[in-house]
Amino acid sequence: MRILVTGATGFVGQAVVRELANAGHSVVGFARTPRTSPCELRTGDILDRAALEDVVKGADAVCHLAALTLVRKSFEQPVRYFEVNITGTLNLLDAMNAEAERAGRPLRLVYASTWAVYGAPKTQPITEAQQPMPSSPYGASKFAAETVIGYQAALGAVNAVTLRAFNVAGAADGQGDTDTSRIIPRVLLVAAGKVDQVNVNGDGSAVRDFVHVCDLARAYAAALEIPEPTGHRVYNVGSGAGISVRDVIATAQQVTGRPVPVHWGPPAREPRELLADISRIQADLGWRPTSSNLEMMITDAWLALTGAAR
């Protein structure tokens, strides 16, 4: 297939591009920032409808990853997050409609969504049947985009799969996560001596679900292989295992052989546990999180940060 990947130069986007190219697909990347890429890369903005219409031409499918993704930042810039994450998706759907009319068949869409659409449900692990109740502008903007995609899919205008990723970690081909507001990149910066300490809210017992970026990329490839999908399918993508902040710190010290000083602050108002139920994607797509153990994710992220080879 000829596949367009928006957000192709981001942390997850790069991994998806490589996975699809290695699987033999013809991949075209679209991103705001030019960067070395294993695929044909075009630069532009998803708020530019004309640019999207041009780059979608000839595509059989689209993996839509371009978005603003920082939960905390979204509280400071809610309008901007809604503009990019919703309007950008509307522009893409319009471009896909135009291409579908030209080609005489609907395109496949795999949409990058997030655990943040759920908010903080009390019942754990979280299944796809859980009613989304986003608690941040970021989560709300992603769920709004999901909703529009669902209506388009109900019309038969697009064949859609949404992947709700939990906390993405690790590295793919030496490309790690550069967002140091996230716990694993932050802890590794401390281990590398680039930051004095990691600040932890509470006692570090809060539990989250982490998925290796390579496992997530394989989920995109699997979603594209669904034969003749109809409607709008939604899948959680995580490991199904809980990892605490203390686990992250202890494993980082073990992997790096270096100390990670911690400043223990007052507890924050946040869920004690957020875990993914991944039984649906396992049953429907045969997908398994083969690389999402904590030691492998931290090892790969550490090697990417230090420039070492595995």
One domain for residues 156 and 298: no
For tokens 């911690």, name the residue: 262
Distance CA 75, CA 81 (A): 9
**pLDDT tens digits, 268-308:** 888 899 999 999 999 999 999 999 999 999 999 999 999 86
The 8 Å CB, 24+ separation contacts for 215-219 are 215/239, 215/289, 215/290, 215/291, 215/292, 216/12, 216/15, 216/16, 216/163, 216/165, 216/168, 217/12, 217/15, 217/16, 217/18, 217/19, 217/172, 218/19, 218/287, 219/163, 219/281, 219/285, 219/287
CA dihedral sign, ordered 178, 277, 296, 22: negative
One domain for residues 265 and 198: yes
Instruction: For residue 267, name the pLDDT band (cuts at 50, 70, 90).
Output: confident
Q: Which of 189, 209, 207 is nearest to 197 (CA)?
A: 189
pLDDT of residue 35: 82
One domain for residues 46 and 106: yes
One domain for residues 130 and 47: yes
Among the listed residues 138, 151, 220, 235, the single catalytic one is 138
One domain for residues 201 and 227: no
**pLDDT tens digits, 106-161:** 999 999 999 999 999 999 999 999 999 999 999 999 999 999 999 999 999 899 99
- Is-catalytic flag, 138? yes
Phi, then psi, of 72 in degrees rounded to 5: -65, -40
Q: How many domains does the chain have?
A: 2
pLDDT of residue 126: 98
One domain for residues 222 and 297: no
One domain for residues 129 and 184: no
One domain for residues 150 and 201: no
One domain for residues 40 and 142: yes
Mean pLDDT of the chain: 95
What's the token pair of residue 273? Answer: 């546990």
**pLDDT tens digits, 10-61:** 999 999 999 999 999 999 999 998 887 889 999 999 999 999 999 999 999 9
Instruction: For residue 183, name the pLDDT band (cuts at 50, 70, 90).
Output: very high
**pLDDT tens digits, 222-259:** 999 988 767 899 999 999 999 999 999 999 999 999 99
The answer, yes or no, to whether residue 310 has pLDDT greater than 80, is no
One domain for residues 157 and 261: no
Q: What percent of the chain has pLDDT over 70?
A: 98
In this prediction the pTM is 0.96
Count CB neighbours of 76 within 10 A. Answer: 10
Domain that holds residue 296: 175-206+242-274+292-306
CATH code of 268's domain: 3.90.25.10
CATH code of 118's domain: 3.40.50.720
What's the token pair of residue 178? Answer: 């550069």
One domain for residues 128 and 163: yes
One domain for residues 93 and 199: no
